[in-house]
Amino acid sequence: MKLRLLLLAGVVASLFIAGPLTESIAGPSYTTVTTIRATNPVFHGRVHLRRAGEHPGVARPCRTHRRVVLFRHHKGHTHRIDATRTNRLGRWTIRTDPKHGRYFALAKRRVLPKRGNKVCERDTSRRVQIG
């Protein structure tokens, strides 16, 4: 009887440990593409999946309301300028007073728990030179 209780306690304890671990394991990842353009005084671009047509169930959640951060690199230092979210088409816009430097956008990594923990990978746009 003691052996059964001990065995049952071990099984229950292993479920408490292994359960959250399996939920936090990320599923397959998808490559993100981030674009940037500069038209004074606006930086804008788009976030979407590479080969989005092959992944119709993931393409929309990977581009909609995605966090995008604009950075400026000047004289060896990188500064965060502003952040925004994409609209439902994956487009983003940030208004700022541009100064001399190289600007780039970063789309944050996103995990989709309702889609089997699929991952939209983070991506950095090309650099745009101002001045």
CA torsion angle 103 64 122 56 (round to 10): -130
Q: Is 83 among the domain residues?
A: yes
Nearest to 108 by CA among 125, 122, 94: 122
Say whether pLDDT at 20 is over 50. Answer: no
Domain containing 92 equals 27-130
Q: Is 20 among the domain residues?
A: no
pTM to 2 decimal places: 0.75
Q: What confidence score (pLDDT) does residue 15 get?
A: 53
- Distance between CA atoms of 66 and 108, rounded to whole angstroms? 7
Q: What confidence score (pLDDT) does residue 19 get?
A: 43
Q: Is 88 among the domain residues?
A: yes
Say whether pLDDT at 23 is over 80. Answer: no
**Total number of domains constituting the chain:** 1
Query: What is the rounded average pLDDT of the residues 46-54?
Result: 88
Q: Is 96 among the domain residues?
A: yes
Say whether pLDDT at 93 is over 90. Answer: yes
Q: What confidence score (pLDDT) does residue 50 get?
A: 86
Sign of CA dihedral 113, 118, 120, 121: positive
Query: 56 to each of 2, 49, 52, 90, 128, how far by Cα in Å?
Result: 54, 10, 6, 14, 31
Q: Is 98 among the domain residues?
A: yes
Q: Is 12 among the domain residues?
A: no
Q: What confidence score (pLDDT) does residue 22 get?
A: 43
Q: Are strands 42-49 and 32-34 parallel, antiparallel or unpaired?
A: antiparallel
Nearest to 24 by CA among 104, 121, 119, 98: 119
Element (H, E) at 85: strand 77-85
Tell me the CATH number at 31.
2.60.40
Confidence category of residue 56, pLDDT binned at 50, 70, 90: confident
